Amino acid sequence: MLPDHITCCYLYPITKYGYPPPAEQTGVYLQEMHDLGFSSVELEGIHEPHLRMMYEGRFKTRETMERLGLSVPYFCIVLPELSSPDRATRDYNLKLFEKGCETAHVLGADGVLDNAPLPPYVFPEDVPVVRHYEEDVLMDASFPQEMEWSRYWTDLVETFRTACDIAAHYNLTYQMHPCMGVLCANTDGFINFYNAVQRDNLRFNLDTANQFVLKDNLALSLRRLVGKVDYIHLSDNRGHHVEHLEPGKGAINWDVFFNELTRIGYKGRFGLDIGGSESDIEDLDAAYTSAARWLLKRWPSTG
């Protein structure tokens, strides 16, 4: 089995079974990730219905993990309406967030993870709910006419302070995942948000592919965020659009990246985050096992 600092991300079952993959089949996903050789895996609760099912099945999931010898260091709580301009909606989602934190606690996680705050875009009705939006879709979005930015920002910061405090109650970090269109899409965005929220358990889930396509220098990001990064989503990208490729199949300079990790004394985890409908991967299982071997040669332990 692979050492537990190399984690199989939830993008693996998402790619195979859709978004979100049916929560009632969680045992199947755990078995499949175990069979690939992983001892450490991600799980997610994606929007309210899926999250509630994961919450209800949390003890059964823990039993399956124990039987397979798996750990879940991070449980992703996907609740984009935490950044709603409507207070009642935010408060309702904070209650769901706490259920996610309870789930993470039962599973023995170190932290919870979500996409960084999504501004209250108003999309055309035919735009589906997806993992991420391409740039052309975001450029066509509008915003609520009544939204006043300074009031929105104040409310947003207060909401995420509360979320960090809820996570801290369960001894969890709260990882902000960067992607196109969110308020922490790059290093500067996260630093601005971190300084506003002022909570020590707020973290940046550095994502190599997403930041690379946004031209956020990965080595500089690592150097600027020492102490605020302890989990890295690792995949490659060719620099033209969002995609999550097997490392070595894109344009990222991995020698520079790993040299910087060595320089800063990184001791955190790596999540292999390969796949998605945006990525042309012929053999998903082979991509994950090959990437795991590749990473193990470059980074054999947590330091």
Cα–Cα distance, 188 to 145 (Å, whole number): 27
* pLDDT by 10s per residue, the chain, length 303: 999 999 999 999 999 999 999 999 999 999 999 999 999 999 999 999 999 999 999 999 999 999 999 999 999 999 999 999 999 999 999 999 999 999 999 999 999 999 999 999 887 765 555 666 667 777 778 889 999 999 999 999 999 999 999 999 999 999 999 999 999 999 999 999 999 999 999 999 999 999 999 999 999 999 999 999 999 999 999 999 999 999 999 999 999 999 999 999 999 999 999 999 999 999 999 999 999 999 999 999 986
Residue-range definition of the domain harbouring residue 292: 6-298
Q: Return the CA Rg of the chain.
A: 18
| pLDDT for position 9 | 98
> Are the C-beta atoms of residues 41 and 2 closer than 8 Å to each other?
no
| pLDDT for position 130 | 60
What is the CATH classification number for the domain harbouring 87?
Answer: 3.20.20.150
Please report whether residue 268 resides in a domain: yes
Please report whether residue 20 resides in a domain: yes
Please report whether residue 303 resides in a domain: no
- For residue 25, which of 39, 3, 6, 43 has the smallest C-alpha distance? 43
pTM: 0.95
| pLDDT for position 68 | 98
Please give the tally of structural domains in the chain: 1
